[in-house]
Structure 1
Amino acid sequence: MNIKGIFKPEFWDADPKSAGPYKQLFDYKRIWQLCIGILVAVSLVPILIMASIDFSVTRGAIISENTLEAARTTSNTRRSVSYFLEERKSALQLLVEMHDFRSFHDPEKLGEMLSSLKKSFGGFIDLGVINKAGKQVAYVGPYNLEGREYAGQDWFEQTVEQGIYISEVFLGFRDSPHLVIALKHMLDEKTNHFKILRATLDTKQFNGILSSLVLSAGEDVFLVNREGILQTPSKWNGEIFSKIGFELPEESFRTKVEQISYRKGAPAMVGYAYLENTPFVLLYVKTEAEYMGGWQSSRDTVTWFTIISIAVIILVMWAVASYLVDRIYIADMTRSKALQQMEHHNRMASIGRLAAGVAHEINNPLAIINEKAGLLKDLFTFSKAYDADERVIGLVDSVIGSVERCGRITKRLLGFSRQTDMEFRPVYPRKVIDTVLSFLDKEAEYRCIDVSVDVDDGIYEVVTDRGKLEQVLLNLINNAFQAMKDGGALWIRVERGDEGQVLFSVKDNGCGIPESDLKRIFEPFYSTKKQSGGTGLGLSITYGLVQDLGGEMKVQSQLGKGTEFSFMLPVVPNINGES
Structure 2
Amino acid sequence: MKHPLRGLQSDVDEAESPVRYALLRRKIFALMAAATLIPLLAMAVLNYYEHQSTMAREIQNPLRVLVNKAKSSFELFLTERSSTVSLIASAYTYPELADEQKLGRIFSVMKKEFKGFVDLGLIDENGTQVNYVGPYSLKGKNYAEQRWFQEVRIKGKYVSDVFMGFRKFPHVIIAVQHMTEDGRTWILRATLDTHQFERIIASMSLEPDADAFLVNGQGIMQTSSNNYGKVLEKMSFALPPQTYEPAVLTMVDPLGRDVYMSYAYFPDADFVLMAVKPRGSVLKSWYTVRGDLLFIFALGVVAVFVAAYRVTDVLIGRMKESEERREMALRQVEHSQKLSSIGRLAAGVAHEINNPLAIINEKAGLMKDIMDREAAFPAKTKIDAQVESILRAVERCRGITHRMLGFARRMDVSIEDLDVGEIIKETAGFLSNEAMHRKVDVRLEIDPELPRINSDRSQLQQVFLNLFNNALAAVADGGRIMAMARAVDDNVEILVRDNGCGMSDETLKHIFEPFFTTKKGKGTGLGLSITYGIIKRLGGDIAVESEQGVGTTLIITLPKGQREALA
Is the TM value for this pair above 0.5?
Answer: no
TM bin (shorter chain): 0.3 to 0.5
Instruction: Tell me which structure has the larger Cα radius of gyration.
Output: 1
